Chains A and B, each alone.
Chain A
Amino acid sequence: MPATSAIAPTTSVPDVLVLKNVSKSFHAGKRLIGALQAVSFAMQPGAVTGLIGPDGAGKTTLMRLVAGLLRPDDGEIQVLGIDVGKDPQSVQSSIGYMPQRFGLYEDLTVQENLDLYADLQGVIPRDRAKRYGELMRMTNLEAFRGRLAGRLSGGMKQKLGLACALVRSPRLILLDEPTVGVDPVSRRELWAIVYRLVENEGVSVLLSTAYLDEAQRCRDVVLMSEGRILHQGPPDSFSQPLAGRTFQMRVPGITRRTLMRELARRPEVVDAIIIGDDVRVVLDRASEAPKQVKGAFPDAVLEPVAPRFEDAFVDVLRSSKSESTQAPLVQPAAAVATGYAAIAKGVGVVTQAGGAVIEVKNLTKQFGSFYAVHDISFSVAPGKIFGLLGANGAGKSTTFRMLCGLLPISGGMLRVAGYDLRTARAVARSRVGYMSQKFSLYGNLSVMENLRFFASAYGLVRRKRSRRIDEIVREFGLESVADMNSGGLPLGFKQRLALAAALMHKPDILFLDEPTSGVDPLARRDFWHRINGLVDGGVTIMVTTHFMEEAEYCDELAIMAAGRILAMGTPAAIRHSAGTPAHPSPTMEDAFIHLIESSQRKVA
């Protein structure tokens, strides 16, 4: 796709950053992995340019090449008029750079970190007090100057990292995923700082992110996937081609999950995801597409909605994937959905007196005087998806570990499938599947060996084992990678394999701990299609996430912060609760921020 930089304002200032045909590959064992392939783009001065793409798209490699930390195999990079290849030190002396792990010394205080970077950047002592004052005001860290950086919250660390990179007000600043792992409130603050920099100091910012919704906040967006630039332009230029192709849809008498599955099978549908009580559909370019959908679902209510950046991303990615010769990462949605009910068929639905499969009452977990989880209660009905949504450190993982019996509880009561998993026999455990946040399979075993191991671990032997493995491999589309080392698989495949392993013993309750962090939107959709198939077969799902949009897939949702549940209910109800006359239809993120802020006000 051609790079469109027609919007660049007319200015005499030279381009802050120009890449021409830059390629870079790495050796991984014997294989050569192309991280960047003939990447070219120019950055506008005095604006925020967003480098957007899923994990493994090559964003960090690109940042490091620009910072002179890596050498391109091919091509040329000009930063502020300097050739990086020829004179990396000059570039490193004149730009600001915040790596993904923000380069803070955790055993130094906020002030000492600032002093170090001021010394390194050659800021003369006379100018320091004023600059420190500005930075501290901007980042709201004035009160924490004497605190060790390691004792700051994730968001505050991120802001301090930014302050350190800005201590000399560079003309170009590179921020590598500054908003990753930061709660929505801090994320908003970070963006405010970035805007202020651009406006007040004329800094040019290159910012990479895996959050697609942040594209809207950039002046110019460079969309990357698998080492290539798919498209460059202002955010609107991405969604423009989608005008009139995005709808919110509901059909009376058909559940949203069934509707989504049916829609995903249709050729004219590019994307179908659940949003609240409706299904959001993106149709293909053909003008008769809406009619075709209407024809298939005569009762359907189709409301046109404004396209979002993610719609564009999925659209661009789908077309780029089908053009490429390699096997598609994602199976056609139709095949995905049908296989699933078959797996779930063998699963018996748990019925209990109370009708709940998971029951939690006044659950508390204390570490010393610190409450990681404080007096929470909820219950999950069979065949439902229950989501725990919250920022890092909200207590989601602790709750999860207690439910799985991995962590003793400090107070309260919990039951999973009628048992306390911590004391229950193996029978109870065999009804639960668990997929952890990190890739918990053996990276140096092949896909097949991993599956065989997990099958044995769950007590499957001989005929039974090989039959079950065959089933799983077929249904998860793992045939093509069966003999490959699982450590080297693309993230989407790894995640599919992890899910396959968790389902090996046909559990009727499935715990998913941040299952889709880092995977691209297509793989995420593929994943949720599978999950929906399982739910249709009667499996109960308990999931944690910090993706606001993922929360929409849940039947019921609990929003957690500081160990407490702030709100619980259907996603739609939670969104509506944050509505104000001025802002009638808030997004899930708006609702989340609203809840957090009002709970903080209560505390203060």
Chain B
Amino acid sequence: MLPSMPVSARGRPRRLRGLIRKEFLQIIRDPSSIAIAFVMPVVLLLLFGYGVSLNAMHVPVAVVLEKPGPDGYGFAARLQGSAYFRTVMMATMQQAQQALMHRRVDGIVCLRSSFARDLTQPGGATIQVILNGVDANNARLVSGYVQNAWEGWASHRAAERGKPAPFSVHIEQRVWFNSQVRSRNFLVPGLIAVIMTLIGALLTALVVAREWERGTMEALLVTPVRLPELLLGKLIPYYILGMGGMTLSVLMAVFLFHVPLRGSVGFLFVASSLFLLAALGMGMLISTVTKNQFVAAQVAIITTFLPAFILSGFIFDISSMPRVIQIITHVLAARYFVSILHTIFLAGDVWPVLWPNALALAVMVMIFLGLTRRKSRKRLE
């Protein structure tokens, strides 16, 4: 029998290097990895940055003046001049209601025949606003805009006549953080959390499950490679890929969509790393348990991607969710990260907000990576 070939003393770094190099070669050659890491972020950012807007613009509104007069026309003109509305003058209320029924308009603004007279009365005048409540979000916005327009008109009118406005209440509206009230400024940072969830959890779940499915994992197990090396061999490449996707998203946010970045870039990097590690841990845990690409993808989408989309505060405000759902959001890493992103981008380094969220992320990293380590075996059972 020949003596066994000499085995390198620097086994561990060499094995790890070999695994990482393999993973990168696979990433480069697999179009779907590149698509998820780089094409998908661009598509999502463009879609949400340009296509989806939570600002209501050019909302078609019917305006009914029961008794035309200078005051009525003045207010209608005010509405018409606003970028939020596209007004349609209607002669009767029936006509307007018909239009609302058929969805030709999203709302009706009606000035009663007593409008001009009431304006001068102590009780003040009433504007009737009827809104299509199907899209509640839109309805709320439109109602706000109408009020805005009304106040604008009233103060304008008062100034014109040199008399104080006929209201005792003077509303001063100020929008914090997102002073231009651009939903894009709010959506784009949140989207970074969704994109990193995709790369971290979904892509990782897929590639680990693929190794089980194709039988390559079985071959890797019967080598000198140790379990932590196998896990690091997956973590490191996808961490780098995920941070690449994050950098791309941040650059697009700042330079393409002109979202302000008010906080420190260093902390953004730290928080993103924590979130990405939590997502990677989640992805690896899913694929370690399921060992099947299809199931892993389904589980990853349902447990990470959808919650990141719906329950993280990315689109829907968590404080307006039902109590039970609010409690559930605490188990989602995306929730903490979205909160950090919104703060860093729009408010700046508000440490009392950032630290607790970062701490929560760190705890999740430990839970998921710890569970993955515990669930992984160098065995098939």
Instruction: Kindly supply a per-residue 1/0 record for chain A positions 81-121, scoring 1 wherever the CB is within 8 Å of any chain B CB and 0 otherwise.
Output: 00000001100111101111111111110001001111111
- Which residues from chain B contact A97 at a C-beta distance below 8 Å? 219, 222
**Contacting B223 at CB < 8 Å: which of A64, A117, A171, A201?**
A117
- Which residues from chain A contact B226 at a C-beta distance below 8 Å? 89
Q: Flag whether A489 is at the interface (Cβ < 8 A).
A: no
Contact A105 B30 (CB under 8 A): no
Q: Flag whether A570 is at the interface (Cβ < 8 A).
A: no
Nearest-CB distance from B340 to chain A (Å)? 36
Given known A46-B1, A202-B1, contact A119–B220 (CB-CB < 8 A): no
Instruction: Kindly supply a per-residue 1/0 record for chain B positions 1-44, scoring 1 wherever the CB is within 8 Å of any chain A CB and 0 otherwise.
Output: 11011111001001101110110011001100000000000000
**Contacting A171 at CB < 8 Å: which of B4, B22, B25?**
B4
The CA of A103 and the CA of B25, in the complex, are separated in Å by 16
The CA of A101 and the CA of B215, in the complex, are separated in Å by 6
Nearest-CB distance from A493 to chain B (Å)? 27
Please provide the chain A residues from 136 to 193 with a CB less than 8 Å away from any CB of chain B in the complex: 148, 161, 164-165, 168-171, 174
Q: Flag whether B99 is at the interface (Cβ < 8 A).
A: no
Contact B15 A120 (CB under 8 A): yes
**Contacting B216 at CB < 8 Å: which of A67, A103, A124, A174?**
A103
The CA of A537 and the CA of B327, in the complex, are separated in Å by 73
**Contacting B218 at CB < 8 Å: which of A94, A103, A118, A171?**
A103
Q: Flag whether B380 is at the interface (Cβ < 8 A).
A: yes
Contact B18 A115 (CB under 8 A): yes
Q: Flag whether B225 is at the interface (Cβ < 8 A).
A: yes
Chain A interface residue number, banded: 35 or more
**Contacting B6 at CB < 8 Å: which of A64, A71, A127, A174?**
A127
- Which residues from chain A contact B220 at a C-beta distance below 8 Å? 103, 120
Given known A69-B221, A122-B7, contact A64–B15 (CB-CB < 8 A): no
Please provide the chain A residues from 556 to 598 with a CB less than 8 Å away from any CB of chain B in the complex: none
**Contacting A119 at CB < 8 Å: which of B6, B15, B29, B380?**
B15
Contact B216 A104 (CB under 8 A): yes
Contact A119 B17 (CB under 8 A): yes
Q: Flag whether A234 is at the interface (Cβ < 8 A).
A: no
The CA of A100 and the CA of B218, in the complex, are separated in Å by 10
Chain B residue with Cβ nearest A161: B219
The CA of A105 and the CA of B226, in the complex, are separated in Å by 19
The CA of A112 and the CA of B19, in the complex, are separated in Å by 11
Q: Flag whether A123 is at the interface (Cβ < 8 A).
A: yes
Q: Flag whether B381 is at the interface (Cβ < 8 A).
A: yes
The CA of A41 and the CA of B220, in the complex, are separated in Å by 27
Q: Flag whether B378 is at the interface (Cβ < 8 A).
A: yes
Instruction: Kindly supply a per-residue 1/0 record for chain B positions 204-231, scoring 1 wherever the CB is within 8 Å of any chain A CB and 0 otherwise.
Output: 0000000000111011111111100000
Q: Flag whether B379 is at the interface (Cβ < 8 A).
A: yes
Contact A107 B26 (CB under 8 A): yes
Contact A108 B218 (CB under 8 A): no
Given known A88-B378, A103-B216, A108-B26, contact A120–B18 (CB-CB < 8 A): yes
Contact A99 B218 (CB under 8 A): yes
Instruction: Kindly supply a per-residue 1/0 record for chain B positions 370-381, scoring 1 wherever the CB is within 8 Å of any chain A CB and 0 otherwise.
Output: 000000001111
Contact A102 B215 (CB under 8 A): yes
- Which residues from chain B contact A67 at a C-beta distance below 8 Å? 221-222
Given known A100-B215, A107-B29, contact A169–B224 (CB-CB < 8 A): no
**Contacting A99 at CB < 8 Å: which of B1, B6, B21, B219?**
B219
- Which residues from chain B contact A70 at a C-beta distance below 8 Å? 379-381
Contact A68 B22 (CB under 8 A): no
**Contacting B22 at CB < 8 Å: which of A46, A101, A105, A165?**
A105
> Which of A99, A117, A119 counts the most chain B CB atoms within 10 A?
A119
- Which residues from chain A contact B14 at a C-beta distance below 8 Å? 119, 122
In the complex, besides A161-B219, A202-B2, 15 extra interface pairs with C-beta distance below 8 angstroms are A46-B1, A69-B379, A89-B226, A101-B218, A103-B215, A105-B216, A106-B214, A107-B25, A119-B14, A120-B15, A122-B7, A122-B224, A123-B8, A124-B8, A127-B6
A-B pairs with beta carbons under 8 Å apart, 19 shown: A64-B380, A68-B222, A68-B379, A69-B380, A88-B378, A93-B224, A97-B222, A104-B219, A105-B216, A106-B214, A107-B26, A107-B29, A108-B26, A108-B29, A112-B25, A120-B19, A127-B6, A165-B219, A168-B4
Chain A positions within 8 Å of B, measured between CB atoms, are 13, 45-46, 64, 67-71, 88-89, 92-95, 97-108, 112, 115-124, 127, 131, 148, 161, 164-165, 168-171, 174, 201-202
